[in-house]
């Protein structure tokens, strides 16, 4: 049994298979084909952080594969009233086939998975956001092909998205340029040397995006840091992704944002709505890659895929 707690839980070969399956599943979805390989399977979704895209994509996805879902928030479970995570994991995993958790610290999902009898998916933690990066890479492949040898520029907060992009750089063999305000960089102490070899850090965001194939960012204040909002607005102001910044990247560079986006803060409205932006494809592709992921975790590699 496999869990998907962070990107490096899977090999490059497994991701190649998942992207191929996502392409097939997306084509079936577009053709209104009925495909129910997970008939009568149940997905439990545990939300300790609010969500729009994660909930809709997982709930719609399991339904489209023939299964059903249960949505649990912190206030609706004993997890929010102090029951040990290990006990909650043992109970829930005896009643469902798959669990997706969106929570705070990565240690929570790791403790849950250690006692779960069914696969566990990381829907987001403070440290990693692997489902979003799966969707982003699938989106890049759709538009530009392989990421091998490419350059991705991450501008803004050194948060869970930046961490996961760094894991992706090693897995998919591209260079990651990161530019963040002082004091908001990636905590490189948590990464092995082979992953850090794909990282270059720049003080100036204009240098970071120079000749990049993809420019990407996120909100300046992630959930859990709201009390720092005003302080962050001041620190992050020079790191907005705008037309001037995009002009330093390659002419055919793409722009991505995991959403929700704050126009006029981390990204200008002109870039978000511009012809280099693929943010709506990114959002849709959460659905397709997660359907491929759920199918793989429950049924394994299918023949003739």
| Catalytic residue list | 102, 129, 132, 218, 258, 286
CA angle 133, 135, 136 (to 5 degrees): 60
Q: Which two tokens stand for residue 155?
A: 């501008």
Query: How many Å separate Cα 153 from the centre of its chain?
Result: 16
Polymer length of the chain? 305
Distance, in Å, from the CA atom of 99 to the CA atom of 115, rounded to the nearest integer, reads 12
Q: Nearest Cα to 188, choosing from 200, 206, 174?
A: 200
In angstroms, the CA 238 to CA 8 distance is 32
Q: Please give the Cα distance from 29 to 140 (Å, whole number).
A: 20
User: Distance between CA atoms of 194 and 36, rounded to whole angstroms?
Assistant: 40
DSSP string over 235-286: HHGGG-B-HHHHTTS-TT-EEEE-S---BTTTB-HHHHTSTTB-HHHHHHHH
């Amino acid at each position: 049994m496999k869990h998907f707690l962070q990107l490096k839980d899977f090999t490059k070969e497994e991701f190649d298979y998942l992207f191929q399956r996502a392409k097939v599943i997306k084509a079936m979805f577009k053709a209104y084909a009925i495909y129910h390989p997970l008939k009568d399977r149940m997905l439990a979704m545990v939300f300790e952080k609010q969500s729009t895209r994660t909930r809709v994509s997982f709930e719609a996805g399991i339904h489209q594969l023939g299964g059903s879902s249960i949505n649990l928030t912190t206030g609706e479970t004993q997890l929010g009233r102090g029951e040990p995570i290990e006990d909650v994991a043992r109970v829930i995993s005896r009643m469902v086939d798959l669990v997706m958790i969106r929570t705070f610290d990565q240690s929570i999902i790791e403790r849950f998975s250690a006692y779960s009898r069914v696969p566990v998916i990381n829907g987001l933690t403070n440290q990693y956001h692997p489902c979003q990066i799966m969707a982003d890479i699938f989106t890049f492949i759709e538009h530009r092909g392989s990421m091998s040898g490419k350059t991705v520029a991450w501008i803004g907060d050194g948060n869970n998205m930046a961490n996961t992009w760094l894991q992706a750089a090693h897995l998919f063999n591209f260079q990651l340029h990161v530019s963040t305000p002082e004091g908001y960089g990636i905590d490189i102490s948590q990464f092995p040397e082979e992953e850090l070899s794909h990282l270059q850090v720049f003080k100036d965001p204009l240098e970071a995006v120079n000749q990049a194939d993809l420019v990407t960012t996120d909100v300046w204040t992630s959930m859990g840091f709201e009390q720092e909002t005003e302080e962050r607005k001041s620190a992050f102001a020079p790191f907005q992704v705008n037309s001037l910044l995009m002009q330093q990247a390659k002419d055919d560079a793409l722009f991505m944002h995991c959403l929700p986006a704050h126009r006029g803060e981390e990204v200008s409205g002109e870039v978000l709505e511009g012809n280099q932006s693929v943010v709506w494809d990114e959002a849709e592709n959460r659905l397709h890659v997660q359907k491929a992921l759920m199918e793989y975790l429950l049924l394994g590699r299918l023949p003739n895929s």
